[in-house]
A and B are shown apart, each in its own frame.
Chain A
Amino acid sequence: MSVEPEVPIVQVEEVRENPVLYKIISSDNHVFTISEHAVKLSKTLWDLITNLGLTAENALDNPIPVENVNGKNMETIVQFCERHKYDEEEPEYTNYIREFVLPEWDRQLLSIDNEELFQLILATNYLDIQKLMDYCCRVIGDMAKDKTPEELRIIYGIPTDAEDDALERSASDSPGPSG
């Protein structure tokens, strides 16, 4: 005989479908909508929302301008945050760094041009999104796998000692601000 539960079971998905939404404007005036759970992944944005006193009622009427991030990067960031908004919070100190595996979806998202990846990291750094920063840095580290020092020099654009010396000399030879 089965016993009916006294309290009705609330489906978690139903709660998730009615989130509070916020509007973000990128440096090139693209407007993005992001849910509350997703925006919380960015410490910078969430601090801003808290300090501005935005609520469920006035959030969409008060778009947040983010001047340091362009539309392209913001699109990637919003996609990432929406994807990971319900992830379990990870402890700040992970015991075994190699235990974290970059999910395929994220690897695809971050399969972009080097310059774009660089700009995305700057944006991630500014918006303080820990998880995205971890994932981006893993992608960059993976580029070094199975490479010789010469190959690393090419991939990461690293100058030789002679080039570094020449750069240093030319910097010291050039006149300073007063000269």
Chain B
Amino acid sequence: MIESNPVFKLRNLPFLALRKVFENLGPVELLQFSMVSAAYRRMIISLRCHCLNNGYIGINHSSRMCHFEIWPTRGGPFCDFGHLKFREFEDRKLKKYETRSSFTLNGVKVILIFSSKNTDGTLYIPNKTDQVLSVMEYFVETFGCVYYKIDVNLAYGNYWECGPLVEAVEFKTMSFHDCGPVSLRRPSNEELYKVLKNLKVSKKLEFEYIPKESGFKFLPLFQSEIEKIVLYGDGFVTGEMMLSMKAHEIDICECLVTTEDIMVFITRWFNSKDRKFKKLELSGKAIGPLDLTAFNATKFEPKKREMVEEEDWNTMEWEVGYDIKRADGLVGSVFQEETRFEFLVWHKKFIDKKFTDRKRF
């Protein structure tokens, strides 16, 4: 009688099949495979068709330093593959359907606990900045993960514990906000300057935080050329500050920008050859009606215009808009309703429904 073979010779598979096997693995299995041997880790590095490839590393800093997660790229083919959570070491009992696995990642001893009930896993790591960084680096190097987003709640005083971590890594998106009991200590302006001074953001910065002390300075970080910046002005962002910003999308609410400042902004764009600027969104009490006659603006109905596929531009609720056409053909649209103002540039082609309706009949 021939005994059945207990071993499946994975490495001997043709490349196409091997790639497909790894395509089917979730984050927990991929991590475990990378720990089996150096050869397997090298193989995973060379394969780029798995759920952690370009996976997002996100830190949600509310009260604990090691609270971060890795998940597959949103909207991609692996978006339902589950994710990995990272938590500070804790001694807890396993549930019936859970398995524990211990190993060393980039010199850091970690414990992985995963469940047969779902595709998620929790990795317990030491609460030390250098070790957290080493673990994150392992995921960047092995699986091609990217530092995607850090969410910092400035309401918690112990934010400063993760300051070095935030400064060491360049995240695509950084978000600062204030959410917590009033009793918690908020950082002073000096403390904020200290942290924000060293930050590096490559894509998007959200600063939805009202400094507790008056006279908060407009920092060079807000003037850097990044894709998008969102500021909660609360009466501190002036027209001069807004005009000094170089982000391609600017969103400031409750600012001190005036109608004249907006006219300067539009005129500057109108006379320039800038092809990067996408959108300016403002709200503030000093914004009044704009006179666009100098730009030969033409009226249109936003609801009769087919939106381009940009996610943020699909939500135009305006009744009336005005198109301004630049000498090079680029069109910008102005929308205004009381103290809300929006100016967006159409980098992709748009179609007016009115035009297509007329053609159809």
Contact = CB atoms under 8 A, between A and B. Distances in A.
B24 A138 contact: yes
Contacts of B13: 118, 121
Nearest to A97: B77
B5 A161 contact: no
A143 interface: yes
Interface string A93-119: 111111100000000000001110110
A161 B38 contact: yes
B8 A140 contact: yes
A148 B101 contact: yes
Main secondary structure of the interface of A (DSSP, over half): helix
A133 B20 contact: yes
B101 A125 contact: no
Contacts of B32: 144, 147-149, 152
Contacts of B40: 158
B37 to A, nearest CB: 5
Contacts of A161: 37-39
Nearest to B19: A137
Contacts of A143: 8
Size range of the chain B interface in the assembly: 35 or more
Interface stretch (B78-86, B276-284, B306-314, B326-334): B78-86
A97 B8 contact: no
A112 B20 CA distance: 19
A114 B103 CA distance: 28
A159 interface: yes
B215 interface: no
Interface string B40-59: 10000000000000000000
A141 B25 contact: yes
Nearest to B40: A158
B116 interface: yes
Residue from the set A95, A96, A136, A156 with the largest chain B CB neighbour count within 10 Å: A156
25 contacts: A96-B80, A114-B6, A114-B9, A117-B8, A121-B13, A125-B14, A125-B16, A133-B17, A137-B17, A137-B20, A138-B24, A140-B10, A143-B8, A144-B32, A145-B29, A147-B32, A149-B32, A149-B103, A152-B32, A157-B7, A157-B10, A158-B36, A159-B37, A161-B38, A164-B38
Interface of A: 93-99, 113-115, 117-118, 121-122, 125, 133-134, 136-138, 140-149, 152-161, 164
